[in-house]
Amino acid sequence: MKSSTPTGLLDSLRERRRVPRQRKPGATPGALIFEGAQKVDDVSIEQLNYGAGHFERRGIEIEHLQLPRNDQRAPESASQTWLHVTGLHDSEKISKIGEVFRIPDLLLEDVLNTNAQGKIELLDDAIFIQIKVLERDGTSGTLKFQQLSVFIGEGILLSFCEGPTQVFHPIFRRLQNAKGRLRNRGVDYLLWALLDTVVDHAIASLHLIEQNLIEIDELIQEDHTAVSAADLYAQKHELMLLQHQIRPNREIIHSIRQSGSELISDDLAPFLDDLRDHAVLLSHECDALRDFAVGVRDYLLAELNQRMNNVMKVLTCISTIFLPLTFLAGVYGMNFQHMPELKSRWAYPFLWLVFLSVGGFLLLLFRRKKWL
């Protein structure tokens, strides 16, 4: 099976549970406190400036960040800016980024809370989106997820990730190689591309789980002893985890489609509709696969119970065969002086004949009733 081992999955869950909760009950709203596990040593920022005829990608220090004035922003067809932030553990640096781009503290608080569910906030001049990114660990194959927070404004998109990810590398390559529509469209199309990639990875992970569950089901039908309950539990738990993380996706995409924001162009509507259909289909497939996993689990338990019943039936039949024999042996094993049969020359062979006859009769009876 092309999946994570149960041990790897449980280790990843224990790692998340070991992260202490930093935010105290009753803390001031908008207090910037990081909630999660540190995944990089330092916060890094990549700036991508792109347009129909140019592309520039470079790292940038927080001190050099600045929000372009309206009169300095190039037309949509000329230049767009994507700022990608990797690392959320340094609250001070995230706060400085928020100051530069005038992000409200309440939304920055959501950015730093990596345990939050997906959401969307429609602001006057921006849109804020929070969604979970799913991918497979390259070594263990464990299903990993991290939070992606996106702010989209006029001609600029700002994204925050907990740590490095391979998920968005195809988008970087498409921008660099000028393939497709990305270089010729605004940041709203870039937002759609990010969401589309997230949904595609979730679909790929779901199909892998489906493939593994089908393989487990086939193994159970061939030889249920070749499948352990831990293998099935690992797949079922990954499915539950994936379903929990993708649940808000279709509502987020639908809200973008119906937002009426000037930041979302009208010609993006067909792409959003298609993406929403994929998200809805993904949700339905999760429900169907969850029912299938429950069916496989019940089938495995039924096979194990049937095996146990067969073992108990055989043991019961053997005990039943020896029960009368044990009774006869116990009777003639008593140390009484006056037992006439003991003085007969043929008593011992006759007793063995009775043993074999009774045992053979019961054995044939059980075989005829197909109990053995």
Query: 295 with 343, same domain?
Result: no
Tell me the per-residue pLDDT of 87-127, one tens digit each, with 9 for 90 and over.
Answer: 998 889 999 999 988 888 889 999 998 888 889 999 888 99
**pLDDT band per the 50, 70, 90 thresholds, residue 25:** low
Query: 195 with 320, same domain?
Result: no
Query: 87 with 140, same domain?
Result: yes
- For residue 327, tell me if it sits in a domain: yes
Number of domains in the chain: 2
Query: 346 with 287, same domain?
Result: no
- For residue 248, tell me if it sits in a domain: yes
pLDDT of residue 232: 84
pLDDT of residue 372: 73
Query: 292 with 323, same domain?
Result: no
Query: Which CATH number is 310's domain given?
Result: 1.20.58
Question: Considering 251, 280, 302, which residue would you say is the last residue of a domain?
Answer: 302
User: Residue 296: is its pLDDT beyond 60?
Assistant: yes
Query: 245 with 119, same domain?
Result: yes
Tell me the per-residue pLDDT of 220-244, one tens digit each, with 9 for 90 and over.
Answer: 888 877 777 888 888 888 888 888 8
- For residue 1, tell me if it sits in a domain: no
Percent of the chain with pLDDT over 90: 28
Query: 351 with 216, same domain?
Result: no
User: Residue 197: is its pLDDT beyond 90?
Assistant: yes
Query: 296 with 356, same domain?
Result: no
Question: Considering 252, 277, 302, which residue would you say is the last residue of a domain?
Answer: 302
User: Residue 20: is its pLDDT beyond 70?
Assistant: no
- For residue 228, tell me if it sits in a domain: yes
- For residue 276, tell me if it sits in a domain: yes
The pTM for the full model equals: 0.78
Residues 6+ apart with CB under 8 A from 237: 9
Query: 202 with 333, same domain?
Result: no
Query: 345 with 255, same domain?
Result: no
Question: Considering 287, 302, 317, which residue would you say is the last residue of a domain?
Answer: 302
Name the helix (H) or strand (E) containing 153: strand 143-153
The maximal CA–CA distance of the chain, rounded, in angstroms, is 124
pLDDT of residue 7: 47
Round to whole Å and give the CA distance between 90 and 165: 19
In terms of Cβ atoms closer than 10 Å to its own Cβ (0-12, 13-18, 19+), residue 340 is exposed
Helical spans, DSSP H, in the chain: 6-18, 91-100, 105-112, 169-177, 187-222, 229-246, 249-257, 269-331, 347-368
Asked whether the beta carbons of 128 and 157 are under 8 A apart, the reply is no
- How high is the mean pLDDT of the chain? 84
Summarize the confidence of residues 29-54 as an average pLDDT: 86
- For residue 281, tell me if it sits in a domain: yes
Query: 282 with 318, same domain?
Result: no
Query: 362 with 254, same domain?
Result: no
C-alpha distances out from residue 76 to 68, 197, 206, Å: 14, 23, 37
| Look-up of token digits 């590398």 | 169
Report the candidate in 140, 134, 143 with the shortest Cα–Cα distance to residue 168. Answer: 134
Instruction: State the residue range of the domain holding 191.
Output: 6-19+28-302
